Amino acid sequence: MTLSPAQLARHVDHTLLSPTATADDVAALAAEAVHLGTYSICVSPAMLPVTAELDGVLVATVCGFPSGKHTASIKAAEAADSIARGADEVDMVIDLGLVKAGRFDETRAEIAAVRASVPAPKVLKVIIESAALTDDEIVAACRAAEAAGADFVKTSTGYHPAGGASVHAVELMAATVGGRLGVKASGGIRDWDTAVAMLDAGATRLGLSGTAAVLAGGTAEGY
């Protein structure tokens, strides 16, 4: 895939999910996103609403983050609160234990509960933590997300010890959803070649924290 930095930026959720982030940090993130031309910024729910000038850049947030070990009702309430405070998109973390136990109907049900709190045209992305799953579990989690009405499946939080995005996982996720859902690759994408490889594999969105360094052809730190 041949892309200009500006074209790649349009696939990026420019991300700041540090627990020590301040309002000033979010304002700086927003200004950088506008300058770089990213699709959105992604911030923690406590940092909403974003009052900085965004000039068309959307606002994403997270739900059940980073462990996913919250009840479906709590995730739904968190998502509803984020939407009420101006989020355009919500990236929810599933309960991985349900997937590991093969309880896929319950996975679908918790995603559906959050979907009900994120009505279209608001966007729901489902983080499946692909590095912690087998291929069969990745497929099952993606199918549950689609059945529950999600808009995207997403590889990773960037916080799991198993790791972040991989080309293999993105290819498998893209093949499973077949273009009916978007695919977001996130976690460990710290240079241009890796970012492009994820898009080549079928990702339609990227989660990056070191966006400026990646777009400049360098190596980023962090998410």
The residues assigned a catalytic role are 91, 154, 184
Beta strands per DSSP E along the chain = 12-16, 40-43, 58-63, 89-93, 123-127, 152-154, 182-186, 205-208
Burial of 167 (0-12, 13-18, 19+ CB in 10 A): middle
DSSP state of 191: B
181 to 144, 150, 175: CA distances (angstroms): 12, 7, 10
If you count them, how many residues does the chain have? 223
Q: Element (H or E) spanning 213, and its range?
A: helix 211-215
58: helix, coil or strand? strand
Task: Tell me the C-alpha distance between 204 and 186, whole Å.
Answer: 11
